[in-house]
């Protein structure tokens, strides 16, 4: 709880520039504020800041849970359509300006869990937890075209796994390139990835790219009264497999935001990468999507 409180302040709650005026100028100002705030953490090499959004969704409803995989977790009861979903995500800066006056090195960690808290017949197990340690280099940028500013580019190595043994073990390693473009209250992120090859004997999910594809596309908008909307698309068009997520949030109290999330398709979690999910979730998030420190995906 203490760590969650730290992640909810103060960088994530800093005010972004006013949304009136030239979109390119706004995006440049937002990027400059973010750079200045991130620079303040350089004096403390162990300063923790938010990475992706931190949220707690005490009610989620999935119309199509995977009963077969749940039977591998427990033989008691049946999988419940309702469960709790939450995400914890933070980053720590390791090095400044690796390439002249640009290129900051970070370590990040994201954990996302699906908890069958209401399933007392099955002793309320954690159905799935995904662990994502990551090392990345951020390059600030100010290149602009057609009213959009390429505010940041990222090169990252990320490991993702669910920490289980066979037959439920799922894991993979990727290198991804992420570019963020902003225009006033709009933000677009393109994040293609390349999977690090594994031997057939070590590969828990050899067909994962058939369902998850080769990258993510995210589009977000800041609305009036600090409401925020974001959509994400992933998948493999040649196989006809897609995963879509929509998030909508607005201020609730003391920096906490009411959060609605909708997911449909493949790739929501490692265990469900090849299982079609149809989930609606309600709860709270602790840091806004748009902040002076950047776009929290």
pTM: 0.85
3-class secondary structure per residue, 116-166: CCCCHHHCCCEEEEEEEEEEEEEEEEEEEECCEEEEEEEEEEEEEECCCCC
Query: 46: alpha, beta or left, given left = phi > 0 and alpha = psi -120 to 50?
Result: alpha
Kindly tell me if the per-residue pLDDT of 9 is higher than 50: no
Between vectors from CA 248 to CA 136 and to CA 255, what angle results, nearest 5°? 75
Answer for the pair 183, 147: CB distance below 8 angstroms, yes or no: yes
> Span 148-172, mean pLDDT?
95
- Give the H/E segment covering residue 6: helix 2-7
Catalytic pick among 161, 169, 179, 183: 161
From CA 276, how far away is CA 41, in angstroms rounded?
Answer: 41
Q: How far is CA 244 from the centre of its chain?
A: 13
More confident call, 1 vs 214? 214
| pLDDT at 142 (0 to 100) | 81
pLDDT tens digits along 259-279: 999 999 999 999 999 999 999
Classify burial at 241, counting beta carbons within 10 Å of its beta carbon; exposed 0-12, middle 13-18, buried 19 or more: buried
From CA 35, how far away is CA 193, in angstroms rounded?
Answer: 25
**Tokens at 148, concatenated:** 């959009």
Between vectors from CA 160 to CA 177 and to CA 221, what angle results, nearest 5°? 50
Q: In sequence order, what are the residues at sequence separation of 6 or more whose Cβ sits closer than 8 angstroms to the Cβ of residue 13?
A: 255, 287, 288, 291
From CA 135, how far away is CA 297, in angstroms rounded?
Answer: 16
Kindly tell me if the per-residue pLDDT of 210 is higher than 90: yes
* DSSP-derived secondary structure for 165-198: -TTS--EEEEEEEEEEEEETTEEEEEEEEEEPP-
Kindly tell me if the per-residue pLDDT of 126 is higher than 80: yes
3-state SS, residue 58: strand
pLDDT tens digits along 237-251: 999 999 999 999 999
From CA 96, how far away is CA 56, in angstroms rounded?
Answer: 32
| pLDDT at 141 (0 to 100) | 86
pLDDT tens digits along 168-181: 999 999 999 999 99
Classify burial at 183, counting beta carbons within 10 Å of its beta carbon; exposed 0-12, middle 13-18, buried 19 or more: middle
Percentage, residues of the chain above pLDDT 90: 71
Catalytic pick among 82, 124, 159, 227: 159
| pLDDT at 48 (0 to 100) | 82
**Can 27 be counted among the known catalytic residues?**
no
| pLDDT at 22 (0 to 100) | 61
| pLDDT at 143 (0 to 100) | 84
């Amino acid at each position: 709880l203490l760590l969650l409180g730290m992640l909810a302040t103060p960088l994530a709650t800093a005010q972004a520039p006013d949304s009136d005026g030239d979109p390119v100028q706004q995006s440049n100002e937002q990027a400059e504020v973010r750079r200045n705030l991130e620079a303040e953490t350089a004096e403390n090499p162990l300063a923790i800041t938010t990475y992706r959004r931190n949220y707690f969704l005490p009610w989620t409803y999935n119309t199509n849970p995977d009963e077969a995989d749940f039977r591998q977790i427990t033989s008691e009861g049946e999988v419940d359509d309702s469960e709790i979903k939450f995400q914890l995500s933070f980053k720590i800066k390791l090095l400044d300006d690796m390439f002249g006056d640009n290129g900051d090195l970070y370590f990040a960690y994201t954990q996302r869990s699906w908890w069958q808290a209401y399933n007392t017949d099955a002793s309320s197990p954690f159905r799935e937890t995904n662990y994502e340690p990551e090392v990345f280099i951020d390059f600030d940028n100010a290149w602009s075209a057609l009213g959009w500013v390429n505010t940041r580019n990222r090169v990252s190595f990320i490991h993702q796994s669910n920490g289980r043994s066979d037959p439920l073990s799922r894991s993979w390693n990727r290198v991804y390139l992420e570019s963020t473009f902003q225009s006033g209250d709009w933000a677009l992120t393109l994040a293609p990835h390349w999977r690090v090859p594994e031997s057939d004997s070590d590969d828990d999910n050899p067909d994962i790219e058939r369902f998850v594809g080769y990258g993510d596309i995210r589009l977000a908008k800041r609305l009036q009264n600090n409401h925020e909307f974001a959509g994400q698309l992933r998948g493999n068009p040649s196989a006809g497999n897609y995963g879509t997520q929509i998030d909508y949030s607005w201020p609730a109290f003391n920096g906490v935001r009411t959060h609605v999330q909708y997911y449909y398709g493949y790739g929501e979690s490692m265990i469900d990468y090849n299982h079609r999910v149809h989930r609606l979730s309600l709860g709270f998030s602790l840091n806004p999507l748009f902040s002076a420190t950047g776009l929290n995906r």
